[in-house]
Chains A and B, each alone.
Chain A
Amino acid sequence: MSSRNPSYTNPKPCKHLEDYKLRHGLSGYKSIQKHLKATPHGRTSVEMLNAGVPRCNSCNGFQGRLYLCLICNSVSCLDHTLLHTQSEDGHDLAVDIERAELYCCVCCDQVYDPDFDKVVMSKHNMGVPRDDKHGDESIGERLVKRRRLGLGVAEELVDLKKSKQLVSMRDRRDKSCYPLGLRGLNNLGSTCFMNSVLQALLHAPPFRNYFLSEGHNHEACQRRSGDRLYSFFSTDSGDCQCIAHRVFSGLLRSDVTCMTCGSTSTTYDPCVDISVDLDTSNFSPTDIVNKRSKPNENSSISTLLGCLDLFTRQEKLGSEQKLFCETCQEMRDSVKQMSIRRLPLVLCLHIKRFEHSPVRKMSRKIDRYLQFPFSLDMTPYLSSSIVRNRFGNRIFSVEGDESDIITDFEIFAVVTHSGTLESGHYVTYLRLRNRWYKCDDAWITEVDEEIVRASQCYMMFYVQKMLYQKADEDLSSLPLSPRRDAYLPIAGCCERLFK
């Protein structure tokens, strides 16, 4: 598989950087190290204590970007870096004083060196694990174990040899030209919420395959009476290896950074779904650039990616939420940031459309339309991406940087809600063999893709792309209803149903 995380590939050094490294090694970097200053916001700068305000050697300018030569420590502004390297042979490499970034004066471009970034990152207080519940086992060890189990399960569940034998049995009641197994569910009295979720769960490829392939031994199943399916999800997902958790369980990472000293403490929490707030910002960037004072309702649409950006954004905790910083030994203003440490096989995203205000004792539903993609790449929301971006694009390894992490997902179910908080209705759209089917309690109808895109989504179910493609292949190889001779248009199909 090709490299999945482009942000972590080592760029090839320019020949000037190569020459510099051959001649000077790490000595230049090491001499800078004591002058590097790290801010709690993840930025690093060079502080030259003796010179006061740094100024360009050629023009005495002090504004804009200034560069410090790694060999002779002279300072040049952007206009004069070339001059310096022309007058001094071999003085090609410099450091941006404000940003602590490497710059090649000959290429006139930023260059990257993991050795340099290592020196820079040494100034940042990277991580203090909170919540040492597991005692002697380190976070790293626990995470490696979980990952190994996760990948093994995916392969096991996709083996459909057994399921084919079960499903190809003739079902004489089946009149429709729809895929075998697609069935409506009767509404037992305001149970559309349950029907909707059941449809999504039953069509989650790994979940469905497990039950169809006799992976689930219903004779020996411990969850016989009482809760059954629900009980899968109600147990603590911490160490549970039941099918529900193996398919839906992911791991969220939460970083809390002290705004005074910059030290970060990290916790990991398992999750079976991710609830995101609707991105309700009314201003689009073009409004600002074009100096529009009122928000243009037409130019800004909320998108799922916007919600995920919001979810992983650094959130300033209010002054009433100060946390105790171990390093400062005081209550400090902090910033929190969420990211996804491990993605599940099936990703369930929940949009928080029901807003409860404890102050006003009112609840309301947010009807705002949310645009969502059918194909989703979760790379930018992984912990490795989020943490790396926090420090301004440095080359260093972050937990979870393995290049074979699967981040491509395909949607297979959308649960929509229409109506109000008090009286509303849930409907699920299922994607089978690239056709969409509306599951409205007992009624199944094929619908156009555009209907789904325009619907008001409430929960979206995405499955890892390769599992989706495999499931698609398997569905195609299954026989359709034996009563059908040729493909019939939908209208004709429905007529047959009602005859």
Chain B
Amino acid sequence: MRPSVNRPPTPDVHENQEKEPTLQETINIKLIESGEKERLMELLRERLVECGWKDEMKAICRAFIKKKGRNNVTVDDLVHVITPKGRASVPDSIKAELLQRIRKFLVSAAL
């Protein structure tokens, strides 16, 4: 990709690069580089469909759109509406399964 001449200024990036990457960032990078993140995402998607979470989110979106009117809703609106509800309603069993997978990965990656 050709870098554009009109690249916007990035004032804060230089300061951030002085700091150490946080643990969260490091783990994220490791997950992505190894391809594990993609596998985890697929697993998460599968589980959330199976337990009906996706259908529930779809229903919430539909209800919201019905209330506001189809032409008055943006993707941003929907994301802001269902993100808190979505995060709160992920079943504990799914969280546990994913945490277990991540732990297992970290153990194997650290060695």
A residues neighboring B (CB under 8 Å) = 31, 35, 39, 41, 48, 52-53, 57-60, 62, 65, 71-74, 78, 84, 87-88, 103, 107-110, 281, 283-289, 291
Contact = CB atoms under 8 A, between A and B. Distances in A.
A31 B7 contact: no
A288 B3 contact: no
B55 A71 contact: no
Interface string B8-19: 101011001000
Interface residues on B, range: 20 to 34
A73 B1 contact: yes
Nearest to B45: A41
> 5 tightest A-B contacts by CB?
A285-B52, A109-B74, A285-B56, A72-B4, A289-B89
Given A62-B25, A110-B75, 11 more contacts: A53-B25, A58-B12, A78-B79, A108-B74, A283-B51, A285-B52, A288-B53, A288-B56, A288-B89, A289-B89, A291-B89
A65 B79 contact: yes
Contacts of B79: 65, 78
Contacts of B42: 39, 41
A340 B98 CA distance: 36
A345 B96 CA distance: 50
B6 A88 contact: yes
Contact of A108 (B7, B25, B51, B76): B76
B34 interface: no
B99 interface: no
Contacts of A57: 8, 10, 13
Given A60-B13, A62-B25, A53 B32 contact: yes
Contact of A62 (B28, B38, B51, B89): B28
Contacts of B51: 283, 288
A103 B33 CA distance: 27
11 contacts: A41-B42, A52-B33, A60-B16, A73-B3, A74-B7, A78-B79, A110-B75, A283-B51, A284-B52, A285-B53, A288-B53
A78 B75 CA distance: 11
B76 to A, nearest CB: 4
- Main SS class of interface, B: helix
A73 B8 CA distance: 10
B106 interface: no
B63 interface: no
Contacts of B76: 78, 108-109
Nearest to A49: B1
Nearest to A109: B74
B61 to A, nearest CB: 13
A285 B55 contact: yes
B50 to A, nearest CB: 9
A31 B3 CA distance: 12
Contact of B91 (A41, A74, A87, A288): A288
Given A57-B10, A283-B51, A288-B52, A103 B75 contact: yes
Interface in B37-60: 38, 42, 45, 51-53, 55-56, 59
A281 B52 CA distance: 10
A74 B32 CA distance: 20
A340 B9 CA distance: 53
A41 B46 CA distance: 11
A72 B8 contact: yes
Nearest to A96: B75
A327 B77 CA distance: 42
Interface in B81-104: 85, 89, 91-92
Nearest to B4: A72
Nearest to A281: B52
B109 interface: no
